[in-house]
Amino acid sequence: MIQLLQYLKDYKKDVIITPVLVALETMGELCLTLIIGHLIDELSNSGTSMNTILSYGFALLLVALFCLIFGTVSGLTSTKAAAGLSKNLRDEMFSCIQDFSFTNIDKFSTNSLVTRMTTDVINVQNATMMILRVAAKAPISIVCALFMAFFTNWQIGLIYVVLIPILFFGLTWIVRLTHPIFHRVFKIYDRLNGVVRENLHGIRVVKGFVREEHEIQKFESISSEIRKNFTKAETMIAFNPFLMQMGIYSCLTLIAWFSAKAIVGSENGTILAGIAMTTGELQNFITYSMMILMSLMMLSMIYVMLIMSRESVSRIQEIFAEKANITSPAHAETNIGNGEIVFDHVGFSYVDDPSNLCLSDINLRIHSGETIGIIGGTGSGKSSLVQLIPRLYDVTTGTLTVGGKNVKEYDLDQLRDAVAMVLQKNVLFAGTIKENLRWGNKDATDEELVEVCKLAQADSFITAFPDGYDTYIEQGGTNVSGGQKQRLCIARALLKHPKILILDDSTSAVDTKTDALIRKAFSSYLPQTAKIIIAQRISSVEDADRIIVMNNGKIDAIGTHEELLKTNKIYQEVYESQQKGGNEDE
């Protein structure tokens, strides 16, 4: 929690003011106790005047008003600071995630990141508010109450010295038992979020296969597991109020016993074991005991919050501790001359282990303006190869250059802005078609949007919508077909005017005629752009200047369509299977 306080930033003033206000409120409550005790002693005297009683009443009213003001303002400042910390944590976490490379992101599941930015941050927010308010109030109340008790009568005050350590060790024992359970619960929360996200994302498949009952049972199973663990933890925590009340009420009983004997002894002119007390002092002791009881109860609540937030803090810290392994160099090159790409003995491993490469000894030169087709079986390394170009991953061995310079020398933003990637499962964001297209160029005019959409064969279906280019796209593009989504993503990429254009099986959902028209548009619209087309269909790459055949993370062959039909067995088999329809082969 202390490490996270650095993210308070503009709310540090509230953090400082809150404990001061809480301390003043506590001092006021102690003053109320002293005034009431003196008033009781005054009332025991038969000669007490009404003016004296009124003066005590006025003092009580004045101190109570100050306590109310201090308490209200401290509540506002603590809430403001805790909510501000929560906001800053989410902002910092989101910024960190945006800077992560794919390697960094692979260490965290999407479900876990969502849980950390929601449930974990809320736990930290609640714990911060409790610490600022209660953690400041409870120790001050306990210390002041003990001091006043010893100041009033140190012999009776020794009762607290015996019981408080017992209560403290009991509380520590409960904490030790419950912390592992809360640690386990947050792992289950990640799984719960995963089930919910998966169900909502694939709701059409769920309904299509009539698997609603199966999904409900899966959700209920994980939900029951959370309930079981929370019940176990809360059962242990339930001993905490019992322990606190048993200790304090035992303390009250002992105080009442010894104090009553002392008061009776004082009235009879005898002193019990050197103890002399008045009725007002007994009332003060009872009030001090209740203050200590409430303070210990508040501390126990803080312990519970800290137990839950401790795991949340560590999970948040994991994101902050994760440093992006792909960053721009100190004096980064910002000018990317052209789209020429050179792979020089490149090897790549997802685990950054040269002995476990999924790409090995890749030697390839792609010229600006050249169209390269890449074909190969599943797992042959096609997507891994092109993801190295914009440094979504870094090469493990060898060197990769773009425009004659090592990609590691470029500013990341400039490099990635020069490379446009269109994936098979590209994402559209919630918003209008225009807003989605302008991800490629935020300053693009309406005429430019129409132009690229015509090239991507998207204009015809866009204009068929009632709202045309102002048609609203649902999150994930769920209200357009797969082929329409791919064509919109291609148009978005064209709008960047990139030096390198990568299409990773991004025309798989369109028919062959539309595919051919899109490829034809590339040569006329982006003549100087290096174009890399990954495809499963031979027809999508047969017109390429060169075709690369990938197999088991290596380049098996490079050549034109005609050359590979004559010389490469893998290409021949794929071509023949697709000419026959490919169903039996698949």
At 81, list the tokens. 């600071």
According to the model, what pLDDT value does residue 253 have?
80
Intervals of the chain under pLDDT 70: 1-2, 41, 44-48, 262-280, 304, 307-308, 580-586
Please give the Cα distance from 289 to 297 (Å, whole number). 12
At 115, list the tokens. 């849980």
Eight-state DSSP code of residue 133? I
According to the model, what pLDDT value does residue 5 have?
73
According to the model, what pLDDT value does residue 243 have?
76
According to the model, what pLDDT value does residue 522 have?
84
According to the model, what pLDDT value does residue 362 have?
92
Eight-state DSSP code of residue 471? P
- Going from the C-alpha of 532 to that of each of 31, 387, 420, 506, 571, the distances in angstroms are 80, 12, 10, 11, 18
Please give the Cα distance from 419 to 117 (Å, whole number). 31
Neighbours of 582 (CB within 10 A): 13
Domains and CATH numbers, the chain: 3-321 (1.20.1560.10), 336-418+501-513+526-586 (3.40.50.300), 424-497 (3.40.50.300)
According to the model, what pLDDT value does residue 583 have?
43
Neighbours of 400 (CB within 10 A): 21
Burial of 151 (0-12, 13-18, 19+ CB in 10 A): exposed
Which of 153, 365, 157, 133 is CA-nearest to residue 280?
153
According to the model, what pLDDT value does residue 263 have?
66
Q: Kindly provide the b/e burial profile for residues 70-81, where b requires at least 16 CB atoms within 10 angstroms of the residue's own CB.
A: bbebbbebbbbb
Please give the Cα distance from 419 to 502 (Å, whole number). 8
SS3 category, 226: helix
